[in-house]
Amino acid sequence: MLSDTRTSAGVDNISTYGKMNVVENPGERVVCTTTAGNLALSQVVVSMIQDGFASDTLGGFHTLSTTPTMFATAQFIGEAIRRTFAAHGEAMRQQHIGFDVSVLLGGQIGGGRMQLFQIYAAGNFIEATDETPYLQIGEHKYGKPILDRAARHDTPLYDAIKLALVSMDSTLRSNLSVGLPIDLLVYRRDTCRVDIRRRIHEDDRYFRQLREQWSSALRDAYRAIPQPDWSR
């Protein structure tokens, strides 16, 4: 999972906020969320699921450390979003502010499957599948073409890390509302512990090298394509 840290309320009001939240109970669970949308909403949702609440859906008090399965965790986050809508939705509507919040949830709990979910502003959610092995929230368009071309469910893990970084780099270059540093979490199936957690800053040696190699490879690639022999 990969997220940026840029929050903006207009181009003249830019701040840095982490959007990744990780719960690790080694051997038992790794649960990672990233959020997009309105910062006030996503902070409320993240606080609710970190601190916990008495869940109607799950029946009893839960936090991201106690939910019994990944599916239940997606339901739990969906309920937190619906409760946030109940508290803030009407006042925002009166001021013509859209209720814009979404969450990616990835990880593995106990003996369950490793799963990846995208949870919408209505609290409903979808799961990634073999056919569509990646999910994006927030400003997704600039980074999507390379994923559509190259990301498959059997892409090796370290190739997938490179793809995610290349995808994020395209977005960083083309949209001011997405900015460094970026947060990376890598989890290996059935380990129930974090493999890599890293905040990548502007001066990160590897990321700089990846950006330069990628730009240079793209320029070489289009130049290597033969010219069309079309004439009028």
Q: Residues 159 to 178: which contact a second copy by CB under 8 A?
A: 159, 161-163, 166, 170-171, 173-174
Please name the amino acid found at residue 21.
Answer: N
Select the span of 64-72, 103-111, 127-135, 208-216 touching a second copy (CB under 8 A): 208-216
Q: Is 214 in the site for a second copy (CB under 8 A)?
A: yes
Query: Under 8 Å CB-to-CB from 202, ≥6 apart: which residues?
Result: 180, 181
Select the span of 40-48, 91-99, 126-134, 220-228 touching a second copy (CB under 8 A): 220-228
Give whichever of 3 and 55 is closer to a second copy, judged by the CB atom. Answer: 3
Residue given tokens 């290349």 in the structure block: 166
Please name the amino acid found at residue 213.
Answer: Q
Least distance between a second copy and beta carbon 102 (Å): 18
Please name the amino acid found at residue 138.
Answer: G
Closest among 107, 99, 118 to 37, alpha carbons compared? 99
Select the span of 25-33, 38-46, 108-116, 148-156 touching a second copy (CB under 8 A): 148-156
d(CA 232, CA 104): 50
Q: What is the dihedral of CA 31, 32, 37, 40, to 10 degrees?
A: 70
Binding site for a second copy (CB under 8 A): 141-146, 148-150, 158-159, 161-163, 166, 170-171, 173-174, 194-198, 206, 209-210, 213-215, 217-232
